[in-house]
Amino acid sequence: MSDEKLYELVCRVSNEIFGKDFLHKAYFNRRLRTTGGRYMLRSHHIEINPLVFEKYGLEELVGVIKHELCHYHLHIEGKGYQHRDADFRELLKATNSPRFCSTLIEGKGRKATKRYTYKCAKCSLLYNRKILLNTKKYRCGKCYGDLILVSSENLK
């Protein structure tokens, strides 16, 4: 799909779903890595990750466009356009727009998180932690017994 076709699609979605014109530019940006698209506050342009269309097809692409158009129209109108704003969340629901896009990269650049399990030597209470603790420095919060590393496992 070309940038021109993307622009036409964005204009059509804006008119059909929001009932408003899209007056700025929309184009693909291959440098986007983890996000499906982004709305540019200063220029009001919309950039879309081409991987969305390549991996998931037209339906997912339209979802990302609707999400970015929510940012666009709310910002233009001077309403709350950020993810945390009530205006934004209401417009997402009203237009049936996704809050997040599907995963675009698998494993690339992402660390596998480790999970450490510690056990108290006195009362046998278990502690699950994401970081490796210094067992000489930390003790059980219940009985102040010594902590012992029981297991460490990689999670994806």
Measured distance CA(98)–CA(93) in Å, rounded: 8
Measured distance CA(23)–CA(72) in Å, rounded: 10
Measured distance CA(136)–CA(121) in Å, rounded: 13
Measured distance CA(52)–CA(35) in Å, rounded: 9
* Long-range contacts of residues 107-112, Cβ cutoff 8 Å, at least 24 apart: 107/156, 109/33, 112/154, 112/155, 112/156
Q: Which of 47, 68, 90, 106 is catalytic?
A: 68
Residue 68 a catalytic site member? yes
Q: In this structure, what DSSP letter does residue 146 have?
A: B
Which residues have a catalytic role annotated?
A: 68
